[in-house]
Chain A
Amino acid sequence: MRAIDEITRPMEYLSPMDRHLGEIIRRWADEEVIPNRRRYDEDWKDHHLIEPAFKTLMVDLGLQRFLFPEDLGGLGLGHSSYLGTGGFRIFEEVARADSAIAVAAGVVFWPLIMVCNEPHVNRRICQELAPLFCDTDRPVFAANAMTEPQGGADIENLDVLGGSTIRTSARMEGDQWVINGHKLWPTNSGGVADLFGVVCSTSPGSSDPRDFAFIYVPADTEGVTQGGPYQKAGMAADRNSDIWFEDVRVPAWYRAHGPGDDFKYFKEVVTFGLMGSLAFTSGVLLNTYELLAEATARLLYRGRPLKENDDIAGQLSDFAATVQTVRILGYQYARMIDRRDLYGMPWSDEMVARGRAFKLLACDLAVKSLRQAMDLLGAHGSDRAGDVEKHWRDFKIVQLWMGGKQLCQMEVARHYFDCETL
């Protein structure tokens, strides 16, 4: 047994496929990603080095087919009662290797959740999209186009703003939606995604949930323009860019569900984003734990291994406590998603608030612990050859995304303290 497998998680929650899923993803991580990942930062623009790892994960291991129904060529996870815990294990293992690959792969699921997950499957859209993801030998990516230049986190601030700040418009002409707008930062933009789930408004400025629309737009549709990828502090395997939609036309039935339901089920997208963030956090911490265990046994201070010094051991214990806490919290949230009968629907306000609270704590703990891990290793901590610093750089954005830390705090306060005017 590897040391990281001894970091406890609630065994009674695990899916029957947990061991199998974990083993195949870990093998991929150990063989294809971890030996190469320190060179990914120089590959941020072109992804020549990163693409083979994506190919194995998405196509050969079938990740891009996971959510679709079996009869459409998928693996049917969208109607599994282990979608939460199974998904958590997958993305924990992927993030252990590289959290940017984890988010790029995870966001493929994000727009598809709207139409592939029980009980709100949109069979017609599933049939339309399944061949793109299931009948191919190349990795296929999707993206959620949400954030806009003027609003930043406002798009995700659904409870307060109700979509009123969304300026990307969807106008019905005949049997088509005509979409116009400008989006920033979606994971898998910058020329990566084949499909966008576009958050837009049928009546810009309205806070009526019925005007919130989630519409699928194939990336090669006329009028879609993607900018070049942004250069960032880390997360090289995840490309982000501006996207412009200029009189983009798609069939009317490309809207996920319709007035009111798009708004409702979009909250499930948020829930899964939070669960994914927790899985990434756990994976990053697990690998950092492995790296720390090796380095603190090898490096010497006061003539003995670093870990055998009381002061260092005290800090290592804090790190271990963080890994353990985050992993249990993450699996607990994933289990809540699986047990709707006990915890409510994944699009409920309660589930969103719980996820925000868990993510808030887990990310704060992880940011602090990763910084501490770098400090513990001295100059080795900022050496790119050591990989700890990569996790530190990559992970910071996990704390910042999905509306940022402050929105997270406000949603938690609103739910747990009944704040009415925030």
Chain B
Amino acid sequence: MKNDDRFPIPREWLSEEAVMLADSVARWAEREVVARRAKHREDFEALHRPALRSLMGQVGLEDLLWGGEEVEPLSATTLAAALEQVGRADTGLGVLLANTAAIQRCVPPEVRPRLSERGALGALVLPGFASGPPSGTGPDGARESADGLHGLTPQVTARATDGGWSLHGRAVRPQCHGARAAYFGLVTDLDGEPALFAVGATARGLRVGEPFLKTGLHSSVNADLDLRGVAVSTEDLLVRGWAPYREVLSWYYLGCAATASGALLATHGIVDDWCDSRVIKGRSQPFKDNPLVAALLGEIGGLTATGRILMVHLARRLDTAGGADEADHATAVAITRTVVRGAMDGLDRAMELMASAGYATEWNLERYWRDVRTLGTYLMLETVGPMDLARHYFGCGNL
């Protein structure tokens, strides 16, 4: 049975283009990733770089993501359908494309050639927890300086210059692919409002550090950046203000939710295959037919089915409303949090069923388990996410 029949989604919202692209990406996934990963494991150079080249070139995702005079930019539902299939093959590639898509939506046509000269892939640099002693601590323990962007500290600061701004930051950590991205979407604080600047990876004053080790997402090679007075102009300012910034985040979350949904589809496939060849209690009872096992399988199936549906609903919402207002953004946070958390729960349950087979690299399950966990930490959906939701749903104005 095909995944679309087993885990149905609102098909009426998917254009013919979306279905065709998803099918095309699914074939790419089997050919370029699934069939080759036993040999190359998580080797970026041997597996992921050629796979990416094929996806962007042969499958045509590069043109589709950029859009252009003859190519309409991808709709949210089409993007979601494609990234779900990418995520099914490799969560890290899905996250990388979610970053790329979120930035590219904001890039005006005249800026594209300059940004894309070294490649098609980009990475977001979002605010996070600052590190170091609080400066100017007040009597209640709070720092006296500005509250940042909803309490988060931009990793990059912008200083006004004659022709624009100069960007500064030390050990700035992108969401992914810092070592290989062609350009970055850097979020900073301009007069209390978020702003997103596009900066090419070869910009003067930008230094890319050595790749660092992380739990998963090895198909994007991440590294910290140092920015020492990187000059940017108004042309590089892609987004300024809360509404367009929320839109960027909403689209990024959609890409991540689609990727996580793909990881759940992959999990279902792995567990399904594994269970087929197992018996339990030495009595030739098929593993699947044991009620305790079945209860966990049911949980995995339910998480996959609901994750998919929610993700497509989010895509539909962004297609119709854009994602800039608070309600859309809150919906994006809520759904992405549910889908990513569901993917992690499903992977945990799958590993509990497969035990050591799930823990070993041979069955590929543990790779998704590490990848989704890494994605979850980067999105901060369990710490900052609830604050975003409370702010919108309960009007908590001081969070």
Interface residues of A (CB under 8 A from B): 38, 41, 147, 150-154, 157, 160-161, 164-165, 184-185, 230-235, 240, 298-306, 308, 311-312, 315, 367, 371-372, 374-385, 389, 392-393, 396-397, 399-401, 404-406, 409-410
Contacts and interface: CB of A to CB of B under 8 A. Distances in A.
Nearest to A400: B355
B360 A380 contact: no
Nearest to B380: A378
B212 A231 contact: no
A22 B153 CA distance: 41
A406 B352 CA distance: 8
Nearest to B387: A311
A400 B351 contact: yes
B131 A299 contact: yes
Given A232-B366, A384-B214, A303 B282 contact: no
B39 to A, nearest CB: 14
A409 to B, nearest CB: 7
Nearest to B279: A150
Given A300-B131, A311-B387, A382-B377, A372 B382 contact: yes
Contact of A377 (B344, B360, B373, B377): B377
A242 B205 CA distance: 53
Contacts of A399: 352
B149 to A, nearest CB: 11
A232 B41 CA distance: 12
A409 B295 CA distance: 13
Contacts of B143: 300, 303-304
A298 B153 CA distance: 14
B355 A153 contact: yes
B214 A382 contact: yes
6 contacts: A234-B359, A304-B141, A372-B382, A376-B383, A378-B377, A382-B374
Q: What is the size category of the interface that chain B forms with chain A?
A: 35 or more
Given A154-B280, A233-B370, 16 more contacts: A161-B281, A165-B282, A185-B356, A233-B360, A302-B151, A303-B147, A304-B143, A311-B387, A367-B348, A375-B377, A378-B378, A378-B380, A382-B377, A393-B215, A400-B355, A404-B352
Given A396-B351, A400-B352, A384 B215 contact: yes
Contacts of B369: 233, 396
Contacts of A231: 41, 360-362
Contact of B360 (A153, A232, A384): A232
Interface string B194-213: 00000000000000000011
B169 interface: no
A79 B7 CA distance: 59
A303 B148 contact: yes
Interface string B369-399: 1100110111011111011000000000000
Interface of B: 41, 128-134, 137, 141-148, 151-153, 173, 175, 212-216, 278-282, 292-293, 296, 344, 348, 351-353, 355-356, 358-362, 366, 369-370, 373-374, 376-378, 380-384, 386-387
Contacts of B359: 232-235, 396-397, 400
Q: Give the one of B129, B153, B278, B378 with max A CB within 10 A.
A: B129
Contact of B278 (A152, A184, A235, A409): A152
Given A160-B281, A303-B147, A304-B141, A378 B215 contact: no
Nearest to B129: A299
B278 to A, nearest CB: 7
Give 3 nearest A-B pairs by CB, closest first: A303-B143, A302-B151, A384-B213
A303 B383 contact: no
B131 A384 contact: no
Q: Give the one of A150, A234, A235, A378 with max B CB within 10 A.
A: A378
Contacts of A160: 281
A356 to B, nearest CB: 14
A201 to B, nearest CB: 12
A376 B374 CA distance: 12
Nearest to B175: A379
Contacts of B381: 375
Contacts of B387: 311
Contacts of A157: 281-282
A304 B352 CA distance: 38
B360 A38 contact: no
Given A382-B215, A396-B359, A400-B359, A161 B134 contact: no
Contacts of B132: 298, 300
Q: Give the one of A299, A381, A392, A409 with max B CB within 10 A.
A: A381
B134 to A, nearest CB: 6
Contact of B134 (A233, A305, A392): A305
Contacts of A304: 134, 137, 141-143
B173 A164 contact: no
A152 B360 CA distance: 14
A393 B366 CA distance: 9
Contact of B131 (A150, A298, A397, A400): A298
A302 B134 contact: no
A184 B153 CA distance: 49
A56 B132 CA distance: 36
A154 B281 contact: yes
Contacts of A406: 292-293, 296, 352-353
Nearest to A160: B281
A302 B147 CA distance: 6
Contacts of A405: 352, 355
Contact of A232 (B130, B151, B352, B361): B361
Given A231-B360, A384-B214, A409-B292, A303 B377 contact: no
B216 to A, nearest CB: 7
Contact of B383 (A371, A375, A385, A392): A375
B159 to A, nearest CB: 21
B292 A401 contact: no
B377 A374 contact: yes
A301 B383 CA distance: 10
